[in-house]
Amino acid sequence: MIKQFNRMNTKPDQHQSVKILFRFHSELLDQEVMEIIRAETINMEMGKYRISDIPFYTPGIATDDIVSATYDDEEEMLKYHETLASSGNSIVWVVITDEETSIEDVQEIFLDLGCDSEEVSEHFFAMEVKSSASYYRIRDKLIELKSEGILDYAESCLSLVHQY
């Protein structure tokens, strides 16, 4: 069974954002998964695109990464091939484990630390950590909130800039 997390389906156009299909086996879900992620065209002829959405389920990909993709006639959309250049940004997936804590309150804590996020459900959001951000402060806050039983998290794409 393939679980699909689809934001839209668009055939590539040099003057607009595009959608790229990512297919992978999710260890977390223990199944084949496909996610469609928005990207900006860098060079359509060369198949180069910059990721603009925060990935919800695709590991190892972050905002502003440069990827290669080509149009797949069977899928009727662009399909990911490889990452050409890492942006240095990181992605962290956050699950709210405390029923009394609002997801918006937790997102606000990390927004104050410079992290944008996108809510996936009422208990789960994906968070972008820009390469210029101090991940130590963000990680300390994640560890603190985890120890308080408020959340759990996974570093789905931890760039070399944020390695510890």
Q: What is the pTM of this model?
A: 0.86
Four-CA torsion 147, 117, 56, 5, nearest 10 degrees: 130
Task: Give yes or no: residues 79 and 21 share one domain.
Answer: yes
Sheet containing 124-129: order of strands: 117-121, 124-129, 90-96, 151-157
pLDDT in tens, 26-42: 877 789 999 999 999 99
Task: Give yes or no: residues 116 and 152 share one domain.
Answer: yes
Q: Give me 46's structure tokens.
A: 């060369």
Task: Give yes or no: residues 101 and 153 share one domain.
Answer: yes
pLDDT in tens, 90-132: 999 999 999 999 999 999 999 999 999 999 999 999 999 999 9
Which residues share a beta bridge with 18? 39
